[in-house]
């Protein structure tokens, strides 16, 4: 990437810091563990957002996913970066997932589309679940996620005892 000669912080010749700590590393095992952990990350995200991020298809769940058209999106979401290349390798699955959305614009549609999600009440399908409170279920149409969704804050007892 950058020329080594321009590195402002070169590694000193014969640096003692360059060392392996726990013996040889098994590349095969690294690959297997990496794949397994990535799969579990994808699975967690899939359950969290009821969205299949591999095939980019919405699933059943709390969130309703809908396509958003290109013009209103910030540029960063539209670029055909590595993700766009991957999409092409994936084999044109996006148009097939919902052809109705591709009306009109034919050229490179999948790059100009994005998805937005909204948290909707599930009550429409089974109104008997909350007969008394249509207003409350309407009220939580959109909910923004916050850090607390990911981390539970809790107080801990610090330092069990103090030496006299």
Residues interacting with other proteins, by CB under 8 A?
1-2, 6-9, 11-12, 15-27, 29-30, 33-34, 37-38, 41, 44-45, 147-148, 150-151, 153-156, 158-159, 161-163
How far apart are alpha carbons 130 and 127 in whole angstroms? Answer: 6
Of 89 and 158, CB closest to other proteins:
158
- The SS3 call for residue 65 is strand
Q: Where are the beta strands (DSSP E) in the chain?
A: 51-52, 57-58, 63-68, 114-119
Of 126 and 156, CB closest to other proteins:
156
Of 48 and 73, CB closest to other proteins:
48
Of 32 and 122, CB closest to other proteins:
32
CB of 3 to other proteins, least distance (A): 12
CB of 158 to other proteins, least distance (A): 5
Buried b (16+ CB within 10 A) or exposed e, 45-60: eeeebebeeeebebee
Of 82 and 99, CB closest to other proteins:
82
CB of 156 to other proteins, least distance (A): 6
CB of 111 to other proteins, least distance (A): 22
How far apart are alpha carbons 98 and 49 in whole angstroms? Answer: 19
Q: Where are the beta strands (DSSP E) in 21-81?
A: 51-52, 57-58, 63-68
CB of 73 to other proteins, least distance (A): 21
Give the pairing type, strands 63-68 and 57-58: unpaired
């Amino acid at each position: 990437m950058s020329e080594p000669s321009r590195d402002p912080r070169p590694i000193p010749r014969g640096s003692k810091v360059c060392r392996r700590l726990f013996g040889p590393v098994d590349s095969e095992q690294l690959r297997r563990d990496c794949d397994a952990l990535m799969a579990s990350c994808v699975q967690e995200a899939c359950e969290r957002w009821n969205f299949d991020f591999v095939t980019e298809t919405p699933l059943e769940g709390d969130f309703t996913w809908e396509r958003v058209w290109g013009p209103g999106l910030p540029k960063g979401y539209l670029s055909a970066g590595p993700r766009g290349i991957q999409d092409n390798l994936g084999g044109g699955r996006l148009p097939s997932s919902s052809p109705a959305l591709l009306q009109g614009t034919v050229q490179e549609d999948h790059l100009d589309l994005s998805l937005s999600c909204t948290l909707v009440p599930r009550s429409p399908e089974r109104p008997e679940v909350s007969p008394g409170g249509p207003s409350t279920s309407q009220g939580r149409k959109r909910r923004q996620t916050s850090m607390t969704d990911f981390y539970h804050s809790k107080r801990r007892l610090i330092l069990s005892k103090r030496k006299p």
